[in-house]
Amino acid sequence: MSDQELSKGEERRNKIMNVLKTQGRITIQEMMEKFHCSEATARRDLDYLVRTEAIIRTIGGAQFEGIAGMREVSFDEKKQLLWVEKEAIALKAAALIEEGDVIGLTGGTTTYLIAKAIKSRRNITVVTNAVNIAMELADSDGVQVVLTGGVLRKNSFELCGPLAEKIVEDLNIGKMFMGADGFALEQGVTTYSELEAQIAKLLIKRSAQTIAVIDHSKMGKASLFGIVPLTALDGCITDAVLAPELEAALKAANVALYVAERAGFSS
């Protein structure tokens, strides 16, 4: 095989990986149409990528391993992952919060860090279904906390179910900051828990703006339950440059993209 042919193959496989990371999966037919290659070439590319990248073969194509391989991680486990990156995202989110704002925070480590970042602020109301976020802000003189009722999910400290949903239906939120387990072009914003997906949907419905706070490890991955398509977002804060296809999709949907500098803050 010539150097030119090798280069073309590498370029094609890089493009295939970009598709997998942004939309989560790809079919043989899609590869043939997108990259103008034969079925045999498409299959060889996938066989090669299975050996070298985090993908798995499916009937008629492949999917990014994040879809099938991810498991629900507890809050305590998440605290050990990408803490500096999440702090940077939290600081960027806090910079968007102004005096007099009513904000929403779903559960999660990044949203918990947003709560820590605004703890000394004045005249802010925080609506949350996460018990640990409410407790973090409980001794703040300048932040009023509205905590939903509901059934506690121990992995995430989130309150969910009909009681939580009934309370959220009567609230009016300005800016909602939403954490998630996955963020992909085709599947949108996703999570492991059906109950958490449902309460997040209602929080979004009751909010004027919805901003996803997602670290780079979630990008191009999808978990079981969908929350919203990417087009439903008003903003996205992350800690690294996105794959070109994903960035282009957000731009086309007029979703404001913020890339946070990785700088910690003291609690």
Read off the pLDDT of residues 49-107 as tens digits, 9 standing for 90 and up: 888 887 777 778 887 765 544 555 566 655 555 678 899 999 999 999 999 999 999 99
Q: Which domain does 235 fall in, by range?
A: 75-259
Does any domain span residue 156?
A: yes
Beta bridge partners of 153: 158
- Shared domain for 37 and 148, answered yes or no, is no
Based on the domain organization, do 8 and 52 belong to the same domain? yes
Read off the pLDDT of residues 143-161 as tens digits, 9 standing for 90 and up: 999 999 999 988 889 999 9
Alpha-carbon gap, residue 41 to 60, rounded angstroms: 14
Question: Per-residue pLDDT averaged across 122-130, rounded?
Answer: 98
Least confident residue range of 5-9, 171-175, 225-229: 5-9
Report angle CA 22, 53, 181 to the nearest 5 degrees. Answer: 45
Residues ≥6 apart with Cβ < 8 Å to 265: 87, 90, 91, 117
Give domain status of residue 204, yes or no: yes
Of 180, 189, 223, 209, the C-alpha closest to 67 is 223
Domain CATH code at residue 58: 1.10.10.10
Cβ–Cβ < 8 Å for 106, 190: no
Residue 178 lies in a domain: yes
Note whether residue 267 is domain-resident.
no
What are the phi and psi torsion angles at 13 (to 5°)?
A: -65, -35
CATH code of residue 194: 3.40.50.1360
Which of 232, 223, 221 is closest to 254 using CA atoms?
Answer: 232
Residue 266 lies in a domain: no
40 and 153 inside one domain: no
The DSSP bridge partners found for residue 174 are: none
Q: What whole-number distance in Å separates Cα of residue 242 and Cα of residue 211? A: 16
Same domain membership, residue 205 and residue 139: yes
Q: Do both 154 and 63 map to the same domain?
A: no
Q: Within this chain, do residues 243 and 111 fall inside the same structural domain, yes or no?
A: yes
Number of structural domains the chain divides into: 2
137 with 61, same domain?
no
* Sheet (strand 25-27) strand order: 25-27, 61-64, 55-58
Q: What is the Cα–Cα distance from 70 to 56, expressed in whole angstroms?
A: 13
pLDDT given at position 104: 98
**Domain termination site, one of 69, 91, 110:** 69
39 belongs to a structural domain: yes
Looking at the structure, tell me whether residues 57 and 93 fall in a common domain. Answer: no
91 and 58 part of one domain: no
Q: What residues form DSSP beta bridges with 104?
A: 127, 176
pLDDT in tens, 91-122: 999 999 999 999 999 999 999 999 999 999 99
Token pair listed for 51? 């050996």
List, for residues 160-197, the tens digit of each pLDDT value.
Answer: 999 999 999 999 999 999 999 999 999 999 998 899 99
Strand bridging mode 158-160 / 173-178: unpaired
The pLDDT score that the predictor gives to residue 75 is 61
Q: Of the candidates 22, 51, 69, which is a domain's last residue?
A: 69
Going from the C-alpha of 240 to that of each of 11, 24, 127, 216, the distances in angstroms are 22, 18, 28, 6
Among 28, 51, 69, the domain-final residue is: 69
User: Does position 134 have pLDDT exceeding 80, yes or no?
Assistant: yes
